[in-house]
Chain A
Amino acid sequence: MALVEIKNVHKRFGDLEVLKGVSLNVEAGEVVVLLGASGSGKTTLLRCINHLETIHDGEIKVAGELVGYTRDKDGKLREEKDAVTSAKRARIGMVFQRFNLFAHLTALENVTEAPVQVLRVPPAEARKRALDLLASVGLKDKADHYPHELSGGQQQRVAIARALAMEPRLMLFDEPTSALDPELVGEVLETMRRLAASGMTMIVVTHEMSFARDVADRVVMMADGQVIEEGPPAQLFSAPSHPRTKAFLARIL
């Protein structure tokens, strides 16, 4: 059983159909890079996986469980209780393009907040673990800094530590480096590389082709709300089969 099972997912915003029957499985330990032109639905797909967005058809399971829905006796999907979905979400890490660190909390407090508030980890233990995590992303000395006192790259590394503090079984990254100055991209990618090497299951939306080439087990190409092609990076980059993949790669490489 795959860790993430996405089956024929449809998503609309008003009249606009943004996901038109997306299916994708991600195995535990796998690193999948999502590629696609702007507006192809990459962000929306990530947000459906942890149910920050509802879906209109199909289903998404993480670790064998539906996220955000329960199935009625007659097979229909029903929205489940906020508390139940929240508990499932707690085990799915998400890293945002614009970091979204909690502005009123220090780096350390950003990392301890959810473990203490959601998982009920004792504060002292959460603090110790948070310091270890901050050390592992190279930011132990910034523990008492507020987000506005950190560079973009440092903020994003704190955001990764914050997500990891929940001991997620899956990490979702939505263009984690595209809001960064070029010289800060490397430190964040390096953190992600080490995370991938540690065996974390990751779904990563990125335009960093070197990361996709070196780290991804599989690259998935999206266009107009559908998966049009997927394969190992070596194959997809050297011999893309779909014309739109070719066009996309020609533009970006």
Chain B
Amino acid sequence: MVFDSSAFFETLFSSTFIVPALTTLGITFVAMALAIILGFGGALAALSRHRALRWLAQGYLGFFRGVPVLVQIVFWYNALPVLTDNAINLPALIAGTIALGLNEGAYMTEIIRSGLISVDPGQREAARALGMTKAKAMRRIVMPQALKVIIPPTGNQFIAMLKTTSLLFAIAVPEIFSTGTNIYSQNFKYFEVLFVVSIWYLALTALLTALQKMIERRFAARPRRNTAILAQEHG
């Protein structure tokens, strides 16, 4: 095998991947935002005292975890227009983002649900006994404690999502991987191009990992103890 280093460096330092990288990041953030919103809804439904809502959550979970995400992506882009007689005909970027978000929402439902049930029911009881409405008890007391459990796996999902966006090459969304495939299908430098593609993904993953660490540190932040009171205590 010959490694064509000039083709490699040319591809690495060309500006070709800048816009696709931004596209990949954009899809990741929008799809995750959608997934987190769906996840909150799904988790609340899964824990609801109404059976119909619990069933709905179960059905959502079962369906989206059971069908391969690539099938869902192609469905949203290619099958939906046919199914609706072109009434719904989404651009690839939007169809793909929706498909990824909906699918990820199922996983976020599980993550948020386990976060919520990790909080001692006594916390909610105490909040209710103090006169908080259900919504306020959730927002002020249960959710802040659940977030400590929800945030770390959500960070991992973010990073997984970043890589999953590469599946959108199947519907020709101009993200990093499909941009790479376009290049190597012309110059046949498969290895050099995939190497560059990998470097881009690694860089973005590193960026998200740094972000994740920062956010986790903030939420794990323990006592901001009033120093005056501390001094009094030990003084």
Report how many residues on chain A are interfacial, defined by Cβ distance under 8 Å: 36
A103 to B127, CA, bound (A): 12
A83 within 8 A of B: yes
Hey, which chain B residues are within 8 Å of A114, CB to CB? 127, 130-132
CB atoms of A144 and B226 under 8 A apart: yes
Query: CB < 8 Å: which of A86, A88, A100, A145 contacts B132?
Result: A86
B229 within 8 A of A: yes
A89 to B126, CA, bound (A): 11
Hey, which chain B residues are within 8 Å of A88, CB to CB? 131
B66 within 8 A of A: no
CB contact list, B126-142 vs A, under 8 A: 126-134, 136, 140-141
A87 within 8 A of B: yes
Hey, which chain A residues are within 8 Å of B141, CB to CB? 102, 104, 113
Hey, which chain B residues are within 8 Å of A91, CB to CB? 131
> What's the minimum C-beta distance from A54 to chain B, rounded to whole angstroms?
12
A166 within 8 A of B: yes
A180 to B65, CA, bound (A): 46
Hey, which chain B residues are within 8 Å of A141, CB to CB? 229, 232-233
A96 within 8 A of B: yes
CB atoms of A86 and B229 under 8 A apart: no
A98 within 8 A of B: yes
Which of B129, B140, B222 has the most CB atoms of chain A within a 10 A radius of its CB?
B129
CB atoms of B126 and A100 under 8 A apart: yes
B123 within 8 A of A: yes
CB atoms of B145 and A103 under 8 A apart: yes
Q: Kindly report which residue of chain A lies nearest to residue B144, judged by CB atoms.
A: A104
A170 to B75, CA, bound (A): 60
Hey, which chain A residues are within 8 Å of B68, CB to CB? none
CB atoms of B144 and A118 under 8 A apart: no
> What's the minimum C-beta distance from B142 to chain A, rounded to whole angstroms?
10
Hey, which chain A residues are within 8 Å of B50, CB to CB? none
Known contacts: A102-B126, A118-B136. The answer to whether A166 contacts B145 by CB under 8 A is no
CB atoms of B134 and A82 under 8 A apart: yes
A159 to B123, CA, bound (A): 12
| B 190-233 to A, binary, CB cutoff 8 A, 1 in contact else 0 | 00000000000000000000000000000000110110011011
CB atoms of B126 and A118 under 8 A apart: no
Query: CB < 8 Å: which of A52, A87, A101 contacts B125?
Result: A52
Known contacts: A86-B131, A87-B131, A94-B129. The answer to whether A100 contacts B229 by CB under 8 A is no
Known contacts: A103-B123, A103-B145, A113-B140. The answer to whether A89 contacts B129 by CB under 8 A is yes
Which of B130, B226, B229 has the most CB atoms of chain A within a 10 A radius of its CB?
B130
Hey, which chain B residues are within 8 Å of A38, CB to CB? none
Hey, which chain A residues are within 8 Å of B130, CB to CB? 89-90, 113-114, 118, 162-163, 166
CB atoms of B223 and A90 under 8 A apart: no
| A 97-134 to B, binary, CB cutoff 8 A, 1 in contact else 0 | 01011111010000001100111000000000000000
Using a CB–CB cutoff of 8 Å, the interface residues on chain A facing chain B are: 50, 52, 82-83, 86-94, 96, 98, 100-104, 106, 113-114, 117-119, 141, 143-146, 149, 159, 162-163, 166
Using a CB–CB cutoff of 8 Å, the interface residues on chain B facing chain A are: 120, 122-123, 125-134, 136, 140-141, 144-145, 222-223, 225-226, 229-230, 232-233
**Top 8 A-B residue pairs of the complex, sorted by shortest distance between their CB atoms:** A90-B131, A114-B130, A100-B126, A100-B122, A94-B129, A144-B226, A118-B131, A86-B133
Q: Can you list 26 pairs linking A and B with CB atoms under 8 Å apart?
A: A50-B129, A52-B128, A83-B133, A86-B128, A93-B129, A94-B126, A96-B122, A100-B122, A100-B123, A102-B126, A102-B127, A102-B141, A103-B145, A104-B144, A113-B140, A113-B141, A114-B127, A117-B140, A141-B229, A141-B232, A141-B233, A143-B226, A144-B226, A146-B222, A159-B126, A163-B129
Q: A96-B122, A100-B122 are in contact. List 14 more A-B contacts (CB 8 A).
A: A52-B125, A52-B128, A86-B128, A90-B130, A94-B126, A96-B125, A96-B126, A98-B122, A100-B125, A102-B123, A103-B120, A103-B123, A114-B132, A141-B232
